[in-house]
Structure formats: C-alpha cells, structure tokens
Amino acid sequence: MNTTIVPILPFLMSGDPSLEALPDHLAEVASLGIGTVELGVPHSDPIADGPVLQAAAHRAIGRGTTLVKIFDKINTIKNIPDVVLFSYFNPLLRMGAEGLLQHLRESPVKALLVVDLPDSEEPDFEAALREGGYPLVPLLAPTTTGSRVRRLLEARPDPGPGACFARRFAYVVARLGVTGTGGETPLAPVARRVAALQGITGRPLAVGFGLSDPGALEAVRAMGATPVVGSALVQALHEGQGLGTFLRPRIGQ
C-alpha cells in the first residue's frame, strides 16, 4: 500500500442519513479503490464544524446514534477501508481509555482525529491509545508556527512507511474558520503551506476545510497531498445523491 498519498479522503457522518446506511456506504467507498475514510462521531456542540456538519450531527443524534452503536455497526462489516475515527473528546472520555481500546481492537479503526484535544491536555489518555496502537492524528492549522509544527509532530510521531496511511498522516487545516463555509478555499496559500510542511516532515499530509470542486482536489493532489472531502459529501448524501456518483469525478486519475 502507498502510505504517502491516497487520492482522496472522504468524510462520512455516522448516523446520517442513517446508521443502517453506513455499511453500504463504507463498502462503496472500498469498491471505488479508496483505502481510508474519516468517520465522524456526532456531537451536540461541534465547535469546528460548519452548518452542514452541525445539522448532520444533530440529525444523527436525533436518530439515536451513539459511539457504542457506531462500533457495533462497523465491527460487523468486512472488507471496508481503514477508518479514522473523527470525534470530539467528550464522547471518548465518557467511554474511558480502556473501554475505548476494547472497542477499537475489534474494529477497522486505525487512528483517531480528536479535533478539540491539544497534544498536552490529556497525556495519559493519549498515551494509552498510542501504546494500544491507535495514534491521534496531528492537526496543523494555518497559524501553527514551524516550531509548533515540529513539537506537534514529535508528540504524535509518524510510525513510518510500514504503517498504513491512516496511522501516518497529518491533517493540514486549509483555512481558518469552520468547515463547509465560504466557498472554495483559495489554493495558493494552501500550496505554500503544504510546501513549507513538506520541508519539515516526510510524513503524508491530508488537506481539508473548504474543498469539494474536482479541480481543487486535483490541485491538492498535485501538491503531493491528499484532499479531504467532508461537508459537500455529507450534504450530497443528505439530499439523496449516491455516494459513488459524488465521489467518482473527484477521485482523480
């Protein structure tokens, strides 16, 4: 497996349009040759999410979606992509590190992206996950300085080329603000940012926030990074569009 770049990293909100649809969606992602997927845990106060993902999270919660039910659903599926569990910290904290590890060991989850957990805030919790084989993905904001980037990448290290993409990549936040707002993200600053980060680290980079147009996704791939598609895909599924119909034109060559 190429652990340096994958053509696209789709984001799905667990429980929206329904938890029952999740196995089919994950299987379809795999059938498209996409090896990794972000799977969101709905949260009632998603501070980093824009209106599309907020609405999707609230719909999912209204349908009774919980972290335990998500694990119960994905643990029954075979031949699905590697999963990066995208969550806020509170649902994980309520489960506890040991309970979470028990669920993770039976699941296709390879890593976690916890958007509101700085690297030094819960060191014991994070260390337990890392020692159990479940690293946390480092988040690199546009305002993160070079010295801070180095500290983050040291705190959440790259396990190396023998590991899968999900366990290696760093998430590059393409712009300030929340997801899914403000139209397409300007790409020139993103290209400069990616180039600067590639001068610091050789680990894979995924770029997200404000990307959905096929041309923009191709431009990110040309930078040597993986584009993330979240809000646009979640909205398309909510409106009844097929997952494959949405993703095929955006996968690239």
Whether the Cβ atoms of residue 210 and residue 174 lie closer than 8 Å to each other: yes
Separation of alpha carbons 34 and 250, rounded Å: 11
Residue 86 backbone phi and psi in degrees, to 5:
-100, 115
Separation of alpha carbons 228 and 186, rounded Å: 15
Is pLDDT at 156 greater than 80 in this prediction?
Answer: yes
Is pLDDT at 196 greater than 70 in this prediction?
Answer: yes
Better-predicted residue by pLDDT, 253 or 165? 165
Separation of alpha carbons 58 and 64, rounded Å: 10
pLDDT digits (tens, 9 = 90+) for 27-84: 999 999 999 999 999 999 877 788 999 999 999 999 999 999 999 999 988 889 999 9
Catalytic residue among 24, 28, 45, 49: 49
Which domains are present in the chain?
A: 9-250 (3.20.20.70)
Separation of alpha carbons 29 and 3, rounded Å: 18
pLDDT digits (tens, 9 = 90+) for 69-125: 999 999 988 889 999 999 999 999 999 999 999 999 999 999 999 999 988 899 999
Q: Note if 158 is an active site residue.
A: no
Catalytic residue among 38, 122, 126, 158: 38
